[in-house]
Structure 1
Amino acid sequence: MKTAFVFSGQGAQYLGMGKEFYDHSQMVRNIFEEASEALGEDLSAICFEDEKKIHFTPYTQPAILTVSYAIERSLNEEGITPDMVAGLSLGEYTALVSSGALTFSEAVKLVHKRGSLMEEAVPDGKGKMAAVIGLDAALIESICDEVSQTDYVTVANYNTPTQLVLSGSSAGVDKAMIKAEEAKAKRVVELKVSGPFHSLLLEPAAQEFMTVLKDSHFSTSTIPVYSNVTAEQYPDSQSIPTLLTQQMTSSVRFEQMILQMIDDGATDFIEVGPGKTLRSFIKAIDKSVAVKNIEKVSQLQKLVENKHG
């Protein structure tokens, strides 16, 4: 029996996330304080009061990281710890903090910078993203290849066997959406995001971010951390800057990563952080594993009761 923690990604944010834990625990308030110092902004005000800032990528990313880390530390205090960790895109930074590869305050600064670069990477209207539900990966990949002969589009996320996300030029994504509908996709939905994330259009931002990562300090992980880019464990701390740079422009192989974790012995998954998107993805990937999500104090208390029950 191995427990895997998976950490929420961007898009899971909402006003008031983490407030219960904040009110409940001095340790959590200290974590918010540390994040505010690293960010130079009051993070509790952003999370609990500022509807605009919480959805602005440079602040969304540190906010989700902080809430997820605070919840994880609350789990740790109750003796619930992971045997392996991963995250969806941004969530990979929380996973690296969880494993001891990266300090929390360093991670806050990194994701703030990452969010700023992603926000500025592509002029408004030049790129977009869309989710396609109900078609398999091979068919969507062939649609992307066909459309990309004239307008660039790629698979940004492999979330589940039948839910993938497209990213690329606005024209490319529009054309791929039409083709996906013609191929009888169950749903095709344009996503409310500020840019074509996880596509080659973010290459200039990724190159700039690489210089920041090279100045950061990464330690050896105490538990396995899985990479979105390779869907496998990080081999060592030296590989972290390269893989985090690639992550900005590469497909997020979430489905493949979860299957690898199951292969490596994960039987219980806990989504740590706001929302329950990853919980639903994991259920769609493999129904045989146990999956929970923790974003409220009551969920944590129930988990603790079951553990000792």
Structure 2
Amino acid sequence: MKFALVFPGQGSQVVGMGRSLAESYPSARAVFEEVDAALGQNLSRLMFEGPAEELTLTANAQPALMAASLAVLRVLEQDRGLDLAEHVQCVAGHSLGEYSALAAAGTLTITDAAKLLRIRGEAMQRAVAPGAGAMAALIGAEPAQAAEIAAEARQGAVCDVANDNGGGQVVLSGDAAAVERAVAIAQGRGIKRAVMLNVSAPFHCRLMEPAAEAMRQALAAVRIAAPLVPVYANVTAAPVTSPEAIREALVAQVTGTVRWRECVAAMAGAGVTRFLELGAGKVLTGLAKRIAPGATAAAIGGPDEVAAFSAA
């Protein structure tokens, strides 16, 4: 039985992630050492020991989450006999996790993925002045409802649908005042919960255009290979295969909606019945179970979970 590999996005980071895996497997340590060398920073120490406020910085969290995910994959491949082409039907990642998915599929090297994510994180942080942007989660909202609320809240400002995560969870992003208006409107429309999120910038909205341009330039200088297995892109919820299409999807993703619900539904529609989330956290595991009720999902982040996967 083939399965899909999925890779988490920002917010899943936690101090200690990857540490037990690195202590147990030289193949995992090699991934962390490669990322450290690529960035000229002891990022692995920050991942293992903190402090949390430094790990949470966008420029650190993004490559750190990729490193944690790829370390798990390398252990499964080198120590547990996983063959990507033979055992995996497709891959996808949420936001920055798309870079992890592309590295998993052999499209990007780990070194290039780490450098690109550092550029991406720094560019996203620079794109909007602190406090000028905001994000909010609408819990219990359908995508069409969320889009209507965002449109009503704009009033000449930016308020876009950033994430359609599935399971009745939609995230809005944009100018702080417009997002705050959207929360108030949602509360008056009977949405189950509408809450402002504690984020450092308004990701996946039109305010991120300077960051998209930075990624356009960075991606133009990187070699991109054809993926070994299909990679479902956030902005199209469909596989991307050619290097140029991959570049375009990654640039569009900076300002576009992460269509995660549609990505999971499309993979399930293509025959995927099992989703494995590699790296930190279990957010995508829970979403997969809600989006594709007939499928199974599990998270693999540490030695115990690696052992359980091997036994299964």
Q: What's the TM-score once normalised by structure 1's chain length? A: 0.97
Take 1:29 and 1:136, find their aligned partners in 2: how far apart are those partners?
A: 42
| 8 Å Cα contact 1:100/1:220 also seen in 2 | yes
SS of 1:83's partner is strand
Deviates more, 1:71-80 or 1:133-142: 71-80
| 8 Å Cα contact 2:238/2:263 also seen in 1 | yes
Take 1:229 and 1:94, find their aligned partners in 2: how far apart are those partners?
A: 16
The aligned counterpart of 2:234 is 228
The aligned counterpart of 2:196 is 190
Shift of 1:186: 1.5
Q: Among 285, 292, 303, which residue is 1:297 paired with?
A: 303
Alignment of 1:87-102 (within 5 A): 87-102=93-108
Take 1:159 and 1:83, find their aligned partners in 2: how far apart are those partners?
A: 22
Shift of 1:302: 1.1
Take 1:90 and 1:156, find their aligned partners in 2: how far apart are those partners?
A: 13
Alignment of 1:1-309 (within 5 A): 1-51=1-51, 52-77=53-78, 78-80=80-82, 81=84, 82-306=88-312
Q: Which segments of structure 1 move beyond 4 Å, counting only runs of 4 or more? A: none
SS of 2:178's partner is helix
SS of 2:103's partner is helix
SS of 2:273's partner is strand
| 8 Å Cα contact 2:231/2:241 also seen in 1 | no
Take 1:128 and 1:97, find their aligned partners in 2: how far apart are those partners?
A: 30
Take 1:37 and 1:239, find their aligned partners in 2: how far apart are those partners?
A: 29
| 8 Å Cα contact 1:62/1:111 also seen in 2 | yes
| 8 Å Cα contact 1:137/1:161 also seen in 2 | no
Take 1:296 and 1:190, find their aligned partners in 2: how far apart are those partners?
A: 32
Q: Deviations over 1:37-64 (max 9, x none)?
A: 1000012211012223211111111110
Structure 2, gaps ≥5 residues long = none
SS of 1:266's partner is coil
Counterpart residue identity of residue 236, structure 1 = S
Over the residues paired in the alignment, what is the CA RMSD in angstroms?
1.1
Shift of 1:79: 2.3
Counterpart residue identity of residue 14, structure 1 = V
Take 1:37 and 1:4, find their aligned partners in 2: how far apart are those partners?
A: 30
Deviates more, 1:167-176 or 1:144-153: 144-153
Counterpart residue identity of residue 101, structure 1 = T
SS of 1:150's partner is coil
Take 2:283 and 2:264, find their aligned partners in 1: how far apart are those partners?
A: 14
Shift of 1:3: 0.3
Counterpart residue identity of residue 190, structure 1 = M
Shift of 1:2: 2.5
Take 2:292 and 2:127, find their aligned partners in 1: how far apart are those partners?
A: 35
Q: Deviations over 1:63-118 (max 9, x none)?
A: 10001000111122312342210000000001001111111101100001100101
Deviates more, 1:79-88 or 1:60-69: 79-88
